[in-house]
Amino acid sequence: MTTRYRLRLGTRQSPLALAQAEEARDRLCEAHGWARDEVELVEVVASGDKILDRPLADIGGKALWTKELDQWLHEGRIDASVHSMKDVETLRPADFAIGAILPRADVRDVLVGAGSLETIPQGARVGTSAPRRAAQMLHYRPDCVIVGIRGNVATRLGKLAAGEADVTLLAAAGLERLGEISVGTPLDEASWLPAPSQGAIGIECRADDEFARAALEAIDHAPSRARVMAERALLEALGGTCHSPIAVLTSVTGDRLSMKASIFSADGTERVDGSVESESTALDAFRALGRDLLDRAPPSIAELFAPGA
Ligand SMILES: NCc1[nH]cc(CCC(=O)O)c1CC(=O)O
């Protein structure tokens, strides 16, 4: 008797999450010569997707995007979970392993509603609920006003079209995966830094599941993994979450990784920058950069982070 599937991949239900899960499935099938229906996509509703009318910070609790997928993975209802690594907390269940990081997509943010930061109209309303985007925008354009808009990519573009904001910022990676990249202008990543792990898809499995681990290892992309792990080490040292105003850009050359990072005050007036270059697996170097940024941070920035928490 044969089983219907080899692997059940858990995913959130948003169009972007499903596009990412399809990419994961395609890569698995390609690497292992499996038929499409040998990888089953299992849709799991995440708490972050259920509550859309309140700012994320007010909903309380952590793991808004991962909690339900984690439960299903623990219970063996799925064999692996597909995540946007940007949304995955630095502290993960000890019995899980990040089995694969897929080749990272475009890390840039895309500005929608204006052609450049400079040509955004004076006093424009910037629709974003991401502290990094809000702080970075206020840093460059203190005249702008931040209005919180949430929801998946289509919802946010709809709110912009409906006039709830004048401009917004979205990840190029997400727009690309949804075929919507032409809605705006990508911002140069050297000056407008991305979020930690932006554009990276990760697939987790149970650490003791040898079959899943081997299956995932075949689609792991080493340079992307190195960058994601280094960016997560920085985030961990800062005590940051996906709700902290942290921006980071990494690049890999051979076994070396260079990192440039900034942390901001909520209102964007204060900013601390730093950089490091190290062997990519020496994660302590990236943790040290995180501690160094905090050591140099004024109270308006330091209060946004909880190192060691
Ligand atoms: N926080 C939501 C989220 N998580 C991952 C992405 C986009 C895809 C990615 O960065 O990998 C998005 C939307 C956005 O920021 O525009």
Check which CATH number belongs to the domain holding 293 and give it. 3.30.160.40
Looking at the structure, tell me whether residues 168 and 37 fall in a common domain.
Answer: no
Q: How much is the pLDDT for 1?
A: 45
Q: Which of 84, 104, 178 to mutate to test the pocket of ligand 1 (most atoms within 8 A of CB)?
A: 84
pLDDT of residue 23: 98
Whether residue 10 has pLDDT greater than 80: yes
Q: Which ligand 1 atom minimizes the distance to the CA of 198? A: 10
Q: Does some domain include residue 74? A: yes
For a mutational test of ligand 1's pocket, the pick from 198, 224, 244, i.e. the residue with the most ligand atoms closer than 8 A to its C-beta, is: 198
Question: SS3 for 263?
Answer: strand
Is residue 85 within 8 Å of residue 66, measured between CB atoms? no
Residues contacting 33, CB < 8 A, separation 6+: none
Mean pLDDT of 289-306: 96
Same domain (yes/no): 165, 285? no
Nearest-CA residue for atom 1 of ligand 1: 87
**pLDDT value at position 180?**
94
The number of folded domains in the chain is 3
Instruction: Ligand 1: list residues with CB < 6 Å.
Output: 84, 86-87, 170-171, 173-174, 198-199
The answer for 58, left when phi > 0, alpha when psi is -120 to 50, beta otherwise, is: alpha
pLDDT at position 174 over 80: yes
Active site residues: 87
Instruction: Say what the pLDDT of residue 240 is.
Output: 79
* 260-285 pLDDT tens trace: 999 999 999 999 999 999 999 999 99
| Residue closest to 275 by CA, chosen among 289, 256, 296 | 289
User: pLDDT at position 238, please?
Assistant: 95
DSSP 8-class letter at 195:
P
Classify residue 193: in a domain, yes or no: no
Q: What is the pLDDT of residues 91-120, one digit of tens each?
A: 999 999 999 999 999 999 999 999 999 999
Q: pLDDT digit string (tens) for 184-238?
A: 999 999 999 999 999 999 999 999 999 999 999 999 999 999 999 999 999 999 9
pLDDT of residue 80: 98
Q: pLDDT tens across 22-64, in order?
A: 999 999 999 999 999 999 999 998 877 766 565 555 555 557 7
For range 9-31, the mean pLDDT: 97
Residue 5 clears pLDDT 90, i.e. is over it: no
Q: Based on the fold, state whether residues 158 and 40 are members of the same structural domain.
A: no
Atom of ligand 1 nearest to the CA of 85: 11
Convert the pLDDT of each residue in 127-173 to its tens digit: 999 999 999 999 999 999 999 998 899 999 999 999 999 999 999 99
> From CA 143, how far away is CA 122, in angstroms rounded?
6
Query: Is 27 contained in some domain?
Result: yes
For residues 98 and 115, membership in a common domain is answered with: no
Position 115 scores a pLDDT of 96
Instruction: Examine the domain organization and report whether 213 and 87 are in the same domain.
Output: yes
| 301 CA from centroid of ligand 1 (Å) | 24
Say whether both 15 and 134 belong to one domain: no
CATH code of 145's domain: 3.40.190.10
> Which burial class, exposed, middle or buried, applies to 221 when counting CB atoms under 10 A from its CB (0-12, 13-18, 19+)?
middle
CB atoms within 10 A of CB 296: 13
pTM, 2 dp: 0.93
Statement: residue 309 has pLDDT above 80: no
Please give the distance, rounded to the nearest whole angstrom, from the Cα atom of residue 285 to the centre of ligand 1: 27
pLDDT at residue number 49: 72
Looking at residue 241, its pLDDT comes to: 72
- Judgement on whether residues 113 and 92 belong to the same structural domain of the protein: no
Q: What is the extent of the structural domain holding 258?
A: 236-302
